[in-house]
Amino acid sequence: MVKITCTNVMQLWANQYPEVMRWLTHLQKKESSALFFYHFCEWAHKTPPELLALKEKDATITPPPNTVEKLLDEFCGADLEDFTSTEKYNTAIQVKSFFKWSYRSLEKACGVVNYEKVKPYNALNKEGLRKLYNRALNPRDRALIPFVTCTGIAKETLANLLWGHLEENWESKDLPTIDIGPELLKGHGKGKYKGVRQITFLTPEAKRELVNYKDWIEGKLGRKLTAQDHVWLTTCNPYEPLSYDVLAQVTIALSKRAKVPFSLHDGRRWINTALEQIGISSNWARKIRGRKVKGEEAPYSQPAINQLKEKFREAVPLLEFTSEASSTVDERLKAVEKIMQDMTPEQRETMQRHGIKMFAKTEAAKRKDRKEKECTDGEHCQRVVSEEALPELLAQGWHASIVLPSGKIVLER
């Protein structure tokens, strides 16, 4: 007998039952949902029509015996070697969903799974992410890792992401914006999720890899990609959009090849950790992760997006990992912290008064390296001045970069 799996469950099982196919039209994760429901039917030794018949029979009895609910409770409470607690939890969700969309809803109290998380979250670091990146076999997978770790886009949304969600002329932007509407996010814009948007950004290295992938896949397609094309495609003809389940398979294969535990949800944890380190507000972090913003009206205007982008810019050194150079950021930050510790109270007050942040040292060092190549006299793009000279120079368009331990201030233009 052929084993039923996620890749063949539709053909070998679901297609036999019109009730199941009608249910699946309401879902995005069709294959995995069908597989969970199939496992329950096999355990219960019932077909989908037989389960529905049990529920209909219960409706004719007063009080109803709730046969299906008790069956689901038995499944969730049994000690089953073939099912983990997580798998039982997901199975219960799909069983309830099937009955809901068959207009025979089960009682809410049934199908409860009590379990404790045993497996810890993957402890990501730049070295591990770089191994994943280096073990990628094609430009798509090399682009996928930095993409998910800097955008925080969920797997379900990734499967439906279009090039049109990236801002116009994104290739020429330093931190391209990705604007995703509620229909692709958790809750799909219904009820309490109405109006939710995800506003997130690409780091320079993620943009670089996405440009490389786009050029590569366009060469395979033999045409230019349009705003209506899916971003993530299979790498062979007919170059179809990657489904939710195939995205997971791609990640699992890459993780095994690199011998680094990783899931696409780990990418969301990576960016969330970086945002916490730069002290971003909880509402701004929720915008980037595509979650409902609390107590804020119309948070997605262009000025608000620009403010969000500037805050995100501070997290870039923490997010990037594809080169060894990006790993030196932590060392540079430690050096800046040492400078701060050695500062006098007066120097700290000057720094606070002019809105200069300790973290700016990292970006200032990067800009200094670029400016040295561009600046011929060392004066017109960067200057070191005393506090007394600051007001006049700020009025001329200069901006403060950092306060040095000597009390002098580095200005840039």
Instruction: Please state whether 178 falls in left (phi above 0), alpha (psi between -120 and 50) or beta.
Output: beta
pLDDT value at 359 more than 50: no
Q: What's the confidence (pLDDT) of residue 413? A: 67
Give the mean model confidence (pLDDT) for residues 167-188: 83
Question: Please, where are the H alpha helices in 78-203?
Answer: 85-101, 126-134, 139-151, 155-160
List, in order, residues 6 or more apart from 339 with CB less than 8 Å away.
Answer: 361, 404, 405
* pLDDT (tens digit per residue) in 178-196: 988 877 776 665 666 666 7
d(CA 86, CA 152): 23
Of 13-17, 71-75, 114-118, 251-255, give the lowest mean pLDDT range. 114-118
Give the fold, CATH level 3, of 126-319: hpI Integrase; Chain A (1.10.443)
Per-residue confidence at 213, pLDDT binned at 50, 70, 90? very high
**Extents of the domains making up the chain:** 9-101, 126-319, 339-412
**Structure-token pair, residue 390:** 């600051």
More confident residue, 47 or 284: 47
Show Cβ contacts of residue 9 under 8 Å, excluding neighbours closer than 6 positions: 31, 34, 35, 38
| pTM of the predicted model as reported, rounded to 2 decimal places | 0.56
pLDDT of residue 362: 44
Please report, rounded to a whole number, the percentage of residues in the chain having pLDDT higher than 70.
75
Classify strands 409-412 and 382-385 as parallel, antiparallel or unpaired.
antiparallel
Confidence of residue 380 (pLDDT cuts 50, 70, 90): low
In this predicted structure, which of 85-89, 128-132, 329-333 has the lowest mean pLDDT? Answer: 329-333
Average pLDDT, stretch 72-89? 85
Q: What is the pLDDT of residue 314?
A: 87
Q: Residue 187: left if φ>0, alpha if ψ -120 to 50, beta else—which one?
A: left
Q: By three-state DSSP, how is residue 275 classified?
A: helix
The pLDDT tens digits for 106-117 are 998 898 886 554
Residue 271 CA to residue 42 CA, distance in Å, equals 40
Q: What is the pLDDT of residue 355?
A: 56
DSSP letter for 385, please.
E
pLDDT tens string 3-56: 888 889 999 999 999 999 999 999 878 999 999 999 999 999 999 999 999 999
- Is residue 334 exposed (0-12), middle (13-18) or buried (19+ Cβ within 10 Å)? exposed
